[in-house]
Structures are given as structure tokens and as C-alpha cells.
Structure 1
């Protein structure tokens, strides 16, 4: 597996993976907006109706896709019927991640991690990464590849890949199952990111599953919370010290300059 990436636009390849996984794409459902639906291309509906295509249909769709793409990230069909291409995934992680010992990962607004120790960091939200994958690669493999790219040691089961779809100025987000094949969804949707986008987020379970975290991870979380608490205390002290100073000045003015 090869990795070529920057923080603003990452590039990763899953093409060299030796294992092949065969899954049938499962479908998900969007929350339907009120009012009349526009006649734009409904990717979710099309993926429900068609989960498999003949080799000739795939060839035609790839030719159409390559004609429409504007960033030279084209798809390629092999003689075996397997096709490869690119997907862009936006990182939208709200909680800190644990970085493997001896590696470096960028933290939002706080520099690099010190080598030789596992630390928890907030990855910059909104950064996009481009993965080179095949039609056999699944959602679970994409998640693992993204975590490896950032040398994240967390359990991949803590994360989920979502598809984002825009309709009538509204953005809808739907979780993908582990067995779905993102490149198939990209092929069906076409190259326009407004039609279909991918986002990596934490699992939305309603509650934090603390048992899924290791002791070092929990300690890192506590360290971050303590730091944030100290910063909030300092901010409050500065705020009320400023109020006290202004109040004293107002009282002096009312008393005619006498303390």
C-alpha cells in the first residue's frame, strides 16, 4: 500500500492490497425533505434499484464518468472487470484521536506530536483526503486506510463513513454500512462532489462507549479536559477582573475622583 498525501489534500492508494473482498452494496435511506423534490439525479434511489451492472454497462459508465470529471481523477477498467478510481473523503472528527507511538500527526492549532509517545490530538476538521481504491474495496477498508494515513491507533469500529447528498439547498447525510463499496457509489453518482460526497465521522450511538477506549486513551482525554478546564477558568478570571476594574473606575467618576 502506498501513501502520497498532504494535509490539505491527501492521496492514498488501496490498489496494492492483496486481499479481495466481495460484498453486495446495501442501501440506506435519506430523510425526505418536505415539499416537491427537484428533478436532480437521485443517487440513493438509483443505487437501490441497481446494485450490480454488467461489464459492458460498467465500461459505458466509466467512459461517461471520465468525460465528466474535471480534476483528472479518472477511473480505469481492468480486463478482469475490476475497476479502480479515486474518492475524496472529508475528515469531520469532533473528538481527539490517539496517535501511535513514534509517529507524528498534526494537531489543530497545537503543532506536531512528540515522537516516541502516544498522544491524543484533535485532527483539523474539514481536511479532505483522496484515496485510490478499487471496486472491491469496502467502507471498512476505506476507514482503516484513512486511520493508517494519520497513524491513528484507535479502533476503526469507533468510526463510520457517511455519504452526503445535496437536494434543494438541503444537505442530507446517511451512514454507510461496512460492506458497501464506495467506488461503486462514486461511479453511479458521477464525479460531482455536490451530488455525492464522503465524510468520516465518529460512530453516532447517542452515548459514548467508554468501554471501547483503552486506559491510555482515557488518560489522554482527561488530560485534554483538564487543560480545557484551566483555560476556561483563566478566561473567566480575566473577564471578571476586567469587570471589577471598570466598576471601580465608574465608582471613582461618580464620587468625583476620590478613591
Structure 2
């Protein structure tokens, strides 16, 4: 059982800095940015969580560093919280026991592209949008991507699990993935393949640090966005059933009801990018 640790002692800081050098950060201001994810939890939930400030942040650049961090954590009985894009909004990367944030975003390389077998192996920290862009240049595309593809990572979607654009055709996140490499808490590196992949799906990083993922890909095809309006849910259901019966290629489908549409129309425009 790990202890709640919100500050490291001087010996622990020296030990951690000797391993990771500039890749470790103890500054309180920097640590504050890791007390939450992209969303804001309700105040009542925050009250139950209590202190969520990590004791340190470590940028994990490769699998070897992930192993060393696990060894450090075992030595001092400190919690490790893997973190990537933090785009889920459900609090899965919040360090409720402080400990050390293992930021895996530096592991973002494309390790190999296998066109013959239609798969790609990538570092778990690669952002979906960056991966898709590089695949497109090779005449390939991801089978499915999360709706937060601009910031979400491949490893994060496996750890979170879910549906996204392309899931109508290809299924849940893990259905589009062939295998994953994980550094377990005991420092062992394990490959999860086939049915074993289910053991880490949706575990939110509690079983280890995902370092590498092999994905299934598809040929890049021209797609078009089509909008349609239906008088009721039954009509929409019949339309989708007809699409399936006639084998119309449909990569993804989304819908909103009238009440949701009205709220979206009343909401102020997003100005994240000054537009």
C-alpha cells in the first residue's frame, strides 16, 4: 500500500533528480497544473478528494525511464500517476494521494508502419491528430479516433476506453488496437495481446505505465459529412437500419436531440483560438 505523499524530502529529491535530471520538476507552481484534468469537477466532489497536488512531475522519455521510476516508487512506497493529454474530464489522472506524475507525452514517436499487415506501432504519448496526419501521408488512416483527437493520446484512449469517430464501423477503442506494452508496478515489462488486452482497457493507469501501442489501420478514403433531420427517434433508427441493410459505407454517426441543439445555439461561441 502506497502512502499519501505531497512533498518529497531532500534525499528523495536528490535521488529522483539524479535519475531524471531536467526531466523532473519540483516547483510548486508547475505541480499545481497537474491537480486537475481538462474538466472541472463539481465542488462537492473536490471536497471528497481533498489535496490533489503531486509531490513531483517526471517526464518519461522511454521505457527504460518508466522502469526506473517504478523502482524509485517501490523503494519509497510512493504512488505513481500516469498522465498524458488529460483530456477525458472525468478525473482519472488526478493524484488523490499526491505522489509522482509520470508524464508520458514525450513518448510520441511512430516506431513502425507495417503497410502489408495494416498496422502501426507508436509511443503511447502520441496525439491522435499528429498520428492521423502522418498516416494520411502514407495513404493510411486510423480506424477510429476519440472526439478529443486534437489533444488526446493513443495510450490515454486505451487506458480510458471509449467510443469515437469511426466506432460505428470499427468498434470501441480496444477493438482498433492489437497490443500494448506496459511497465508494471514491479518494474516488469509486459506485452498485452489479443484477449489479454482487455486486462488493461479502462484501468486508468492503475496497472502500470503504458509505453507502446500497436494499432490496426485502414486505407485512407475520401469521406464526406452529411447532415439529416428526422421528425422523431424512430425515424432516425429506421434510417440507420436501412443504411446497414444496403451496405452504405458509414464510418461514423452522431446525433443530437432538439433540446441539445437549442442549448448549443444559445451557448456563447468558443473563442479558444481567438475566432
TM range (shorter): under 0.3
Name the TM-score, length of structure 1 as normaliser.
0.26
- Larger RCO (alpha carbons 8 Å, 6+ apart): 1
